[in-house]
Structure 1
């Protein structure tokens, strides 16, 4: 499908979502002002075709209120479908905006991160077919690559990096692997079935980031400066986050496992975040900070 055609679908969804409710005449007027229209009006037939394509591609329904003849987005997706649709739309919207901004490309600075474009389609295809994958894995902690055979259960993105989580046939347990550290990835003819009681959403339910732990979740209490508290409100560390607001600081409560990613996140904020509880997390942070200070 032509990329310009997908951009039209994304434009329609984005416009309806931003307006909440919009009539066809208003939508057609906005369409004529967009760079996608070539100055031509949006016909009803074209709109209905686009609406059907949007449902087929994204699972999003552009519904019509027969009382007001206004179009709106009907939220009839599951939570997982909604997140995936939102991620796809955000990615495509940004991609379309960047493609339409070549004249100011030198003024748009992007972060250089490892790409998963080569491996992600292969992993997803293996998931759809229920087939194991094999690859060489280049861990940062080992000199030589490790040969891995994996039943891919699900994929997850964290801090712009893609990971696959699945059952490692060599280690006989569920493990996490970064896609950008793979080489010689290929799909085998070996079938697998994901356990019925395995829920991808529950796997990281009590964790921050991509690392997990066999330990039980802990009640975590953090003290954040008033400025840092605003960032935590805008982007919570975890769904369990609760806040107590004070004059010059806030106290945040969580229920999470003590993982490597969580400790790294806390330390990345320096003196703006202080661990109040539990004592073992506080001790771990103190030890890490002392080790870091000894380097200077």
Structure 2
């Protein structure tokens, strides 16, 4: 698909998301001011073709109100809407950055190595419901495991890394693989059917990060410093988040599995976040902090890092 054509689809969706409902004349007036436009309105037949392509590509239906002749985006379920929003935001940012070559040396983006090589194959396998054959080298393994047959159920991005979760056919259990640890991937001709009783949304609902099958759901209470609480309100850690505001702090509550990913998230906030409950999680965090403090104390009187191995000097 020509890049310019894709950009036009994104422009139409973005415009309707922003304004809510517009007539064709209003759309064309806005189109005339778009950098994608040559100043001419979108022909009627072309406009309807765009709407069909948008529905096919993005699963977004743009409907026309026969009373007002206004076009608007019909509603979708929450998860689908979040995926579509992410796709469109990414595409919109891409369109914007294409026009910023003059300041490219002043725009810094995070690298996403896992999207570089095998994401297209994984997405293709998802769409066609075909088994993947992969080779995988985990961080805790010295060798690459080959011939893994995976039935991919869903993909997720976390901490700028893509992951695929699905049924490991040989082991007959669900497993999650980081795409940047895959060394080979091929879509096989073998089709599979995802179980009717499996829902990716339900499977991931009680987890933070990409560890889904560890631990039980617990009622977690976190005492959060005021400045950090503002961030928590803006970007909730989990959909179950609720808050009680006090004078000098807030308490945030969650119904969530206390997985290693969640533990690391809590630790990343340092003294701004204190676990109040459950006792097991509080003890776990305290134990990690005590062990870390002991390591620092043990090396406090030791020699400084020799200059020849200090990476900051190179």
Answer whether TM exceeds 0.5 for this pair. Answer: yes
- Is the aligned partner of 1:119 residue 2:126? no
Deviation at 1:189, TM superposition (A): 4.1
Moved more, 137-146 or 120-129: 120-129
- Is the aligned partner of 1:22 residue 2:22? yes
- SS for the counterpart of 1:54 is helix
Gaps of 5+ in 2: 297-314
1:173-229: CA deviations, max 9, x gaps? 211100111012123344433222221111111111101234320000011111111
Runs of 4+ in 1 over 4 A off after TM superposition: none
Q: Distance in 1 between matches of 2:149 and 2:114?
A: 22
- Is the aligned partner of 1:265 residue 2:259? no
- SS for the counterpart of 2:289 is helix
Q: Distance in 2 between matches of 1:62 and 1:219?
A: 41
- SS for the counterpart of 1:294 is helix
Partner of 1:294: 294
Partner of 1:131: 130
- SS for the counterpart of 1:206 is coil
Aligned residue runs from structure 1 range 181-196, under 5 A: 181-196=181-196
Partner of 2:307: none
Partner of 1:58: 58
Distance 1:181 1:290, change over 3 A: same
Distance 1:57 1:272, change over 3 A: same
Instruction: Please tell me whether the aligned partners of residues 32 and 42 of structure 1 are also in contact (alpha carbons under 8 angstroms).
Output: no
Instruction: Please tell me whether the aligned partners of residues 54 and 61 of structure 1 are also in contact (alpha carbons under 8 angstroms).
Output: yes
- Is the aligned partner of 1:32 residue 2:35? no
Q: Distance in 2 between matches of 1:128 and 1:41?
A: 35
Partner of 2:311: none
Aligned length: 295
Aligned residue runs from structure 1 range 80-159, under 5 A: 80-147=79-146, 148-159=148-159
Q: Distance in 2 between matches of 1:285 and 1:217?
A: 17
Distance 1:190 1:37, change over 3 A: closer
What TM-score results when the alignment is normalised by the length of structure 1?
0.92
Distance 1:65 1:96, change over 3 A: same
Q: Distance in 1 between matches of 2:199 and 2:55?
A: 26
Deviation at 1:18, TM superposition (A): 0.9
What TM-score results when the alignment is normalised by the length of structure 2?
0.87
Q: Distance in 2 between matches of 1:209 and 1:236?
A: 13
- SS for the counterpart of 1:115 is helix
Deviation at 1:43, TM superposition (A): 3.6
